[in-house]
Amino acid sequence: MALPVVVSQLGHTLVHTADSMIVGHFVGTIPLAAVSLVHSVFMIVMVLGIGIATGLTPLVAMANGSRKPDECGLLLSNSLSINIVSGILLFCLVYFGSMVAIDHLDQDPEVVEVAKPYLLIMSLSIIPLMVFNTFKQFLEGLGFTRQAMNITIWGNLLNVLLAIVFVRGMFGISPMGVEGVGYATLIDRCLMAVVMTTYTFRAARFRPYLKYFNFFKLQLRRCVAIIRIGAPVALQYVFEVGAFAGAAIMAGTLGANEQAAHQIAITLAAMTYMMASGIASAATVKTANSYGRQKFVRLKRFATANYHIVLVFMVAAAFIFVIFNQYLPWIFTTDAVVIGIAAQLLLIAGLFQLFDGTQVVGLGILRGLGDVKIPTMITFVAYWVIGLPAGYLMSAQFGMGILGIWFGLTAGLLTSSVLLYIRYRKLVQRLELPA
């Protein structure tokens, strides 16, 4: 179950990875720094949307485990309405908030000038992304994960091709620079939403659930249930991604080279994180399904297996970052100064891989148990009370520069990982399972 989800989750990051690679090679360092700034701001908005949509998955998994297809269909109806409204509100947040705030972040004026049009185009893509995620989370809750993976793979290929055509100016199209990757992403996400929706409604296997679907039948009880899980999950994502966005802004105050290097390292680290979050999504589905059936021994086995899987995966990722730290930045740029800084950051990224993987799986397991409030508090403390302040102190007060910022992020991830595992152990004991 986890592997297709891993690819689907990775797809969100690969869009930004492709953007960074294309801009870094075809446009230059200032535009790459602009992409870093926009992704830092936009990722907060995107994970807000992803978190809200995620509220559907454990509820569908529990309902399906309890053999209630009617409940699954009604949950989908209400979730789609919630997510469309959320997409519109998130666009307004970017248009009326982030577009103004970006002028007051003490960034290089050249970087800000390039970043603004790109941010506006990216913000439009959040609405079709929310529609896609609604049906993706619904199918994952039912245990079907390959469909979203296939659509994501083809969508990413289309995104890369369109981005190259738009950025370089091919087939009679004028070169668009950074804006070109934005238009490519917007077109890609619109098509993915259409294809995912069409597939879900036309597939025979989902008809027993969808005969209860009614987009115009909003029910307060189900909306509250979805938001009760989705909103804290969104905050969990925001606290973590917001900390990394804050780190990017701090990096931007050090210079364009540091910001570009941060973008390279964080893009690579985000790829492994999103893959680990795919494992966490499978943990959510399996633990929620077991919890719905009251099969607690099965629940514990799935939780333990997910911790083992993510540890093996992240150890492998850490070795890759450490061994190839001098070579991986070449994927994004040929600027020797930026490559040198990024290589140092990748060593730190290798250090925090285990913490990053175990904390996201911990969140996934707890989400499957319906436990979202305490984990949300844990993520806030880990990143905003410990991680970012520590990064600021090491960078600004102790003169460690960009490396200090990243050591602070490592401290936040370590704190989150440990506290979430302790929370999981306590819930296991309450279910009267062997710890």
Report the chain's mean pLDDT, rounded to a whole number.
81
Q: Mean pLDDT over residues 261-288, rounded? A: 81
91-137 pLDDT, tens per residue? Answer: 888 777 766 666 666 666 777 777 777 888 888 888 998 999 899 88
Tell which wins on pLDDT, 15 or 249.
249
Residue 435 has pLDDT above 50, yes or no: no
The token pair that represents 178 in the structure block:
């950074």
C-alpha distances (whole Å) from 237 to each of 69, 257, 264, 375 are 29, 27, 21, 11
Going by the DSSP 8-state scheme, the letter that residue 68 receives in this structure is -
326-384 pLDDT, tens per residue? Answer: 888 887 777 788 888 889 899 998 888 888 889 988 988 888 887 878 888 998 999 88
8 A C-beta contact, residue 360 and residue 2: no
Give the pLDDT score at 1. 62
Kindly indicate the confidence band of residue 16, based on its pLDDT and cuts at 50, 70 and 90: low
The token pair that represents 201 in the structure block:
């409604």
Q: What percent of the chain has pLDDT over 90?
A: 11
Residue 237 has pLDDT above 50, yes or no: yes
Give the pLDDT score at 8. 67
Kindly indicate the confidence band of residue 27, based on its pLDDT and cuts at 50, 70 and 90: low
Give the pLDDT score at 194. 93
Residue 67 has pLDDT above 80, yes or no: no
Helices (H), 216-330: 220-254, 256-292, 296-323
What are the residue boundaries of the structural domains of the chain, listed by start?
Answer: 2-430
Q: Which amino acid is at 201?
A: F
70-80 pLDDT, tens per residue? Answer: 888 888 888 88
Kindly indicate the confidence band of residue 10, based on its pLDDT and cuts at 50, 70 and 90: low
